């Protein structure tokens, strides 16, 4: 089995990297398609993958049933969009979840590659390889001037949306976000709360992604993303150091209490779990805690969400606490 | 409330933008609003604000118009309202509406970057990709060299 999930650096501040390419198949419109047409397109994608048997053997194709529980779980895992979960379509994904091709989004095909930490280059390389495989077998909507054609003009050209999920609790808590957002905006990037509107418990995760897809090459977009992400990471680190200077006791108190809660709680809701995990990440990065890799805490961030745990609310809180105790077993407070 | 761009002056102007259905807001002082909207000239490379202008003033969602894309059935008024193409041909059929919109939104209307293998035989396209990168990274000497090369090749092709 091959690994499609990429790995990168800055794991204590960058949770995940995602590269997504939008493509449309020639001969189909972008609206009013039914499941039958999406099945035809999914079959084309599947057949194209079979031309590279070594790669194809790692992929499985599943129907995403509109509004199903499985579809909701795929959304939580960032494998499909909420839109696809609602409408239904097809998902062709690698066994490790690192590479996924969604059929039936706003665009016929969305190919995405995921990684942990900051790894846009690595993700792009894999995405390019997979896209090349599809393109060698499937005629796509492409225009010499506008590039790859997409339903929304904001994806035209490269069809590339590259993003990094950043953990920015101190910038968020002390009002540094608007300034950082406008800085990112001037670089051609947007910053969004990771779990969108309507969900309060975001755990201070923000997604930085390119806004411009046309007139820049894939490599230029990726390089700019790395620069922008590094800039934001530096800003968060600086804000943390300022906080340490201002109120070291207050900060270390919160970090150490969070570690205690993670290691001992018997019943914990999502909001408190996310808050504690957030402080644990700060503690690991700032040298108050050690013993657990930051990416394990990042992964726990995802795993404690209700849809993935299942069961009733009460059962989930107990399950969540047990899971967190296991994750934080080796977490140590440094004096 | 302070201006979210400079963090110094009192915000006097409020902007809202909608990108792929994600709505975000910005409060600006008049100096920053001026700088962000006017200072970039017609190039439109201020995505934060230009996408706002793009949606509201370029597409003019209130306008009707009886045209219809023959391939997918998209009507002019629906296109203006949704800011979506219904098929590849919409980009031809509604070019007069979409081209200025793409320009304000993306700051460019010329693709640079990879192309499907079957389209790659064109050496000019490859050079254009490099030209875009050179301009983006402010390597103007390199850009001038590439531009000359493209002109030369295009001259040969004609
Ligand atoms: Zn200002
Ligand atoms: Zn059309």
pLDDT in tens, A82-103: 888 988 999 999 998 899 999 9
- Name which residue leads in pLDDT, A231 or B43: A231
* A153·B132 Cβ contact <8 A: no
Out of A195-209, A298-312, B96-110, B132-146, which region has the weakest mean confidence (pLDDT)?
A: A195-209
* A135·B72 Cβ contact <8 A: no
Reported as a pLDDT band with limits 50, 70 and 90, residue A186 is confident
Tell me the mean pLDDT in the region B116-142.
73
Reported as a pLDDT band with limits 50, 70 and 90, residue B119 is low
The answer, yes or no, to whether residue A7 has pLDDT greater than 70, is yes
| The predicted structure's pLDDT at residue B121 | 57
Contact B26, B14 (CB under 8 A): yes
Share of chain A above pLDDT 90, in %: 69
| The predicted structure's pLDDT at residue B122 | 65
Tell me the mean pLDDT in the region B2-25.
62
| The predicted structure's pLDDT at residue B108 | 78
| The predicted structure's pLDDT at residue A59 | 94
Residue B79 CA to ligand 2 centre (angstroms): 9
Nearest C-alpha in A relative to B102: A153
Residues of A in contact with B46 (CB under 8 A): 185-186
- Write the DSSP assignment of A273-319 as a string of letters: HHHHHHHHHHHHHHTSEESS-HHHHHHHHHHTSHHHH-S-HHHHHHH
How many angstroms away from the CA of A132 is the closest CA of chain B? 8
Nearest in space to A328 (alpha carbons), one of A273, A263, A275, A253 = A263
- Write the DSSP assignment of A3-72 as a string of letters: ---EE-B-TTTEEEEEEEEEE-BTT--SSS--HHHHHHHHHHHHHHHHTSHHHHTTEEEEEE-TT-HHHH
The answer, yes or no, to whether residue B139 has pLDDT greater than 90, is no
| The predicted structure's pLDDT at residue B138 | 76
Nearest in space to B120 (alpha carbons), one of A135, A24, A47, A25 = A135
Tell me the mean pLDDT in the region A219-239.
95
For A287: left if phi > 0, alpha if psi spans -120 to 50, otherwise beta; the answer is left
Residue B148, Cβ neighbours under 10 Å: how many? 10
Tell me the mean pLDDT in the region A135-161.
95
* B114·A213 Cβ contact <8 A: no
Q: CA B103, CA B130: separation in Å to the nearest integer?
A: 20
| The predicted structure's pLDDT at residue A64 | 93
Out of A186-190, B62-66, B82-86, which region has the weakest mean confidence (pLDDT)?
A: B62-66
- Name which residue leads in pLDDT, A237 or B103: A237
Residue A185 CA to ligand 1 centre (angstroms): 14
Whose structure tokens read 């706002």?
A: B52
- Name which residue leads in pLDDT, B40 or B90: B90
| pLDDT digits 0-9 by tens, A256-271 | 999 999 999 999 998 8
Contact A190, B105 (CB under 8 A): no
Tell me the mean pLDDT in the region A278-294.
96
Nearest C-alpha in B relative to A151: B85
Q: CA B1, CA A186: separation in Å to the nearest integer?
A: 21
- Name which residue leads in pLDDT, A160 or B151: A160
- Name which residue leads in pLDDT, B87 or B50: B87
**How confident is the prediction for chain B on average, in pLDDT?**
72
- Name which residue leads in pLDDT, B5 or A141: A141
Nearest in space to A235 (alpha carbons), one of A316, A172, A309, A322 = A172
C-alpha torsion sign, points A296, A297, A303, A309: positive
Q: Work out whether strand A6-7 and strand A109-116 pair parallel, antiparallel, or are unpaired.
A: parallel
Reported as a pLDDT band with limits 50, 70 and 90, residue B34 is low
| b/e burial code for range B29-44 (CB count within 10 A of at least 16 → b) | beebbeebbeeeeeeb
Contact A146, A189 (CB under 8 A): no
Q: CA A19, CA A114: separation in Å to the nearest integer?
A: 7
Out of A119-123, A159-163, A267-271, B21-25, which region has the weakest mean confidence (pLDDT)?
A: B21-25
* A146·B112 Cβ contact <8 A: no
Tell me the mean pLDDT in the region A300-309.
81
DSSP SS3 for B84: coil
A318-332, B9-23, B71-85: which is most confident: A318-332
How many angstroms away from the CA of A128 is the closest CA of chain B? 9
Nearest in space to B59 (alpha carbons), one of B84, B40, B75, B81 = B81
Contact B44, B28 (CB under 8 A): no
Predicted-complex ipTM score: 0.84
The answer, yes or no, to whether residue A179 has pLDDT greater than 80, is yes
The answer, yes or no, to whether residue B47 has pLDDT greater than 60, is no
Helix or strand holding residue A205 (H, E): strand A205-210
| The predicted structure's pLDDT at residue A41 | 97
| The predicted structure's pLDDT at residue B53 | 42
Helix or strand holding residue A180 (H, E): helix A177-186
Record the pTM. Answer: 0.79
Side-chain half-sphere CA neighbours of A151 within 13 A:
21
| The predicted structure's pLDDT at residue B15 | 63
* B132·A135 Cβ contact <8 A: no
Angle between the A218-264 and B123-136 helix axes, to the nearest 10 degrees?
60
DSSP SS3 for A332: strand
Phi, psi values for residue B46, rounded to 5°: -135, 75
Report which bound ligand comes closest to the CA of B29.
1
The answer, yes or no, to whether residue A304 has pLDDT greater than 60, is yes
| The predicted structure's pLDDT at residue B107 | 81
| The predicted structure's pLDDT at residue A208 | 94
Q: CA A91, CA A105: separation in Å to the nearest integer?
A: 10
Residue A105 CA to ligand 2 centre (angstroms): 17
Report which bound ligand comes closest to the CA of B28.
1
| The predicted structure's pLDDT at residue A196 | 44
Residue B6 CA to ligand 1 centre (angstroms): 4
Q: For B4, which of A140, A178, A217 is closest by C-beta distance?
A: A178
Angle between the A313-327 and A270-286 helix axes, to the nearest 10 degrees?
10
| The predicted structure's pLDDT at residue A202 | 61
| pLDDT digits 0-9 by tens, A190-212 | 888 765 444 444 678 889 999 99
Q: For B116, which of A142, A217, A220 is closest by C-beta distance?
A: A142
| The predicted structure's pLDDT at residue A333 | 96
Residue A291, Cβ neighbours under 10 Å: how many? 13
CA dihedral A325, A326, A330, A332 (to 10 degrees): -20
Report which bound ligand comes closest to the CA of B11.
1
| The predicted structure's pLDDT at residue A242 | 96
- Name which residue leads in pLDDT, B143 or B6: B143
How many angstroms away from the CA of B63 is the closest CA of chain A? 19
Q: CA A85, CA A102: separation in Å to the nearest integer?
A: 11
* A214·B132 Cβ contact <8 A: no
Residue B71 CA to ligand 2 centre (angstroms): 5
| The predicted structure's pLDDT at residue A310 | 78
Q: CA B100, CA A153: separation in Å to the nearest integer?
A: 11
């Amino acid at each position: 089995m091959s690994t499609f999930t990429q790995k990168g650096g800055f794991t204590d501040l960058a949770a995940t990297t995602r590269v997504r390419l939008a493509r449309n198949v020639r001969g189909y419109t972008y609206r009013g398609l039914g499941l039958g047409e999406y099945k035809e397109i999914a079959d084309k994608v599947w057949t194209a993958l079979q031309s590279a048997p070594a790669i194809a053997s790692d992929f499985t194709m599943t129907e995403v049933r509109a509004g199903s529980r499985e579809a909701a779980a795929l959304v939580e895992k960032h494998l499909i969009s909420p839109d696809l979960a609602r409408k239904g379509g097809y998902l062709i994904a690698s066994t490790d979840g690192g590479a996924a091709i969604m059929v039936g989004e706003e665009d016929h095909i969305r190919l995405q590659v995921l990684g942990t930490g900051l790894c846009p280059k690595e993700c792009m390389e894999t995405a390019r390889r997979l896209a090349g495989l599809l393109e060698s077998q499937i005629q796509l909507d492409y225009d010499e001037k506008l590039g790859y054609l997409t339903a929304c003009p904001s994806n035209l050209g490269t069809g590339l949306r590259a993003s990094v999920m950043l953990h920015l609790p101190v910038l968020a808590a002390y009002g540094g976000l608007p300034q950082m957002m406008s800085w990112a905006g001037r670089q051609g990037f947007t910053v969004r709360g990771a779990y969108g509107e309507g969900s309060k418990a975001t755990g201070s995760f923000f997604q930085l992604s390119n806004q411009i897809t046309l007139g820049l090459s894939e490599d230029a977009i990726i390089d700019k993303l790395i620069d922008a992400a590094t800039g934001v990471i530096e800003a968060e680190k600086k804000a943390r150091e300022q906080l340490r200077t201002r109120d070291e006791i207050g900060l270390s108190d919160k970090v150490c209490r969070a570690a205690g809660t993670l290691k001992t709680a018997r019943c914990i809701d999502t909001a408190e779990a996310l808050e504690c995990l957030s402080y644990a990440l700060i503690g690991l990065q700032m040298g108050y805690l050690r013993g657990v890799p930051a990416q394990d805490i990042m992964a726990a961030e995802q795993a404690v969400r209700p849809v993935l745990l299942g069961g009733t609310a009460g059962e989930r809180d107990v399950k969540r606490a047990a899971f967190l105790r296991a994750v934080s077993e080796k977490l140590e407070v440094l004096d | 409330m302070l201006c979210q761009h400079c963090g110094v002056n009192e915000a006097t102007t409020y902007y809202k933008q909608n990108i792929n259905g994600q709505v975000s807001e910005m409060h600006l002082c008049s100096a920053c609003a001026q700088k962000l909207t006017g200072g970039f000239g017609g190039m439109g490379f201020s995505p934060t604000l230009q996408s706002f202008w793009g949606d509201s003033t370029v597409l003019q969602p209130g306008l009707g118009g009886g045209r219809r894309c023959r391939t997918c059935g998209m009507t002019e008024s629906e296109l203006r309202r949704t800011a979506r193409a219904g098929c590849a041909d919409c980009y031809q059929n509604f070019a007069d509406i979409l081209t200025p919109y793409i320009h304000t939104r993306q700051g460019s209307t010329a693709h640079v970057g990879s192309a499907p293998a079957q389209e790659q035989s064109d050496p000019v396209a490859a050079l254009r990709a490099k030209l875009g990168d050179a301009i983006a990274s402010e390597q103007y000497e390199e850009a001038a060299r590439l531009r000359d090369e493209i002109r030369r090749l295009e001259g040969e092709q004609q």
